[in-house]
Structure 1
Amino acid sequence: MDLKSTVASIVDWPIEGVIFRDLTTLMKNPEALRESCDIFYERYKDKNIDKVVGIDARGFVFGAVLAYKLGVGFIPVRKKGKLPADTIEESYSLEYGSGTLEMHKDSLDVGDKVVIVDDLIATGGTAGATVNLVKKLGAEIVECAFLIELPDLKGRERLNGCKMFAMMEFDGE
């Protein structure tokens, strides 16, 4: 299946000049959803992953499925103010805004091998912030995994040297 063809491109959303890559069209397609989740599983099934870290919000969809298939725990990284226990936080900027992400202080153990999952990497703001959060807790990042990379926005440069995998790329097309 051509996964790229299942992604909608919304011009000038959420602001003028942005082409939003909408993965809800991929997610509503059962074959595309299954194939994308299977690609992640095949990539990480033999990597001795201890936890999957998913970035709010669509990273929860793919990250939780991966954690389930691997038989490991799932750790949500949320926007500030959404987690109930003691948290650590990291601020970031992205293509059209800024914010702060949090994760529970007790969510990872020193030395845990993790994969960070999100739907898309653009400028790398949320992914870079998540990398910093995971490193603060002493876990080892095996890789950052995305369905889509927008290479023109150079997000991989903000991953602090972490390895990265993306299933598909959309240039400034």
Structure 2
Amino acid sequence: MDTESKLQLIKTHIRAFPDFPKEGILFRFCSDGGSVPGLDARGFLFGPLLAQRLGLGFVLVRKKGKLPGPTVSVSYELEYGKSDAEVQEDAVAAGQKVLIIDDLLATGGTMFAACELMRKLQAQVLGCMVVVELKDLNGVDRLKPHKVFSLIQY
């Protein structure tokens, strides 16, 4: 594929969102409808690399209010309070297989929220992957029946 063809391919994945994050701004966002959701923010470091290696796209799971366009959101409990997570409503297709990735699994609240978002979009969660798992906090139990793979456990 020549350079111009590659640029045209990239352009097909860039969408325009008028008036985001505030009126008068035309926000452009690369959205490829991928299948490796990564959690805000350190999941953004590992997710794109894994997605590229697998030949898949990457999906952003962010804190509420950070994504342009129509979104789906969930509220969830953390060990230190409440939060909201969201994903663009067209980020994955119904029935699409996904592998969710983040840096750390503690009590499982954030990863559970990502699983719930994928359920709302009718995606099939193949598993959850983290770099570090804090085993004493039993986050794996909260994510059942999903499989969890961790590189390092403490």
Distance in 1 of aligned mates of 2:85 and 2:54: 25
Match of 1:107 among 71, 82, 91: 91
Deviations 1:102-152 (A, max 9, x none): 000000101111100000000100000000000111111111000011111
> Which residue is equivalent to 2:130?
146
User: Contact (CA 8 Å) 1:78, 1:101: kept in 2 or not?
Assistant: yes
Contact 1:89/1:102 (<8 A) preserved: yes
Q: Greater CA radius of gyration, 1 or 2?
A: 2
Contact 1:131–1:160 (8 Å) recurs in 2 = no
| Equivalent pair of 1:56/1:77 in contact (CA under 8 Å) | yes
Partner of residue 97 from structure 1, selected from 81, 97, 100 = 81
Cα distance in 1 for partners of 2:95, 2:60 equals 18
Higher-strand-fraction structure: 2
TM (norm. structure 1) is: 0.68
Contact 1:128 1:160 in 2 (8 A): no
> Amino acid of the residue matched to residue 73 of structure 1?
G
SS in 2 for 1:67: helix
Shift of 1:95: 2.1
> Quick check: 1:115–1:143 contact (8 Å CA) kept in 2?
yes
Structure 2 length-normalised TM = 0.76
Residues 114-129 of structure 1: pairs in structure 2 closer than 5 A? 114-129=98-113
Count the aligned residue pairs. 121
Deviations 1:76-101 (A, max 9, x none): 00001100110111111222232100
Partner SS for 2:95: coil
- Structure 2 counterpart SS, 1:167: strand
Q: Does 1:88 align with 2:89?
A: no
Question: Is 1:51 the counterpart of 2:35 in the alignment?
Answer: yes
The structure with more helix, counted as a fraction of residues: 1
Amino acid at match of 1:109: A
Q: CA deviation at 1:154?
A: 1.1
Question: Among 34, 51, 56, which residue is 1:67 paired with?
Answer: 51
Letter in 2 for 1:165: F
What amino acid maps onto 2:90 in structure 1? D
Look up the match of 2:12.
none
Aligned residue number for residue 162 of structure 1:
146
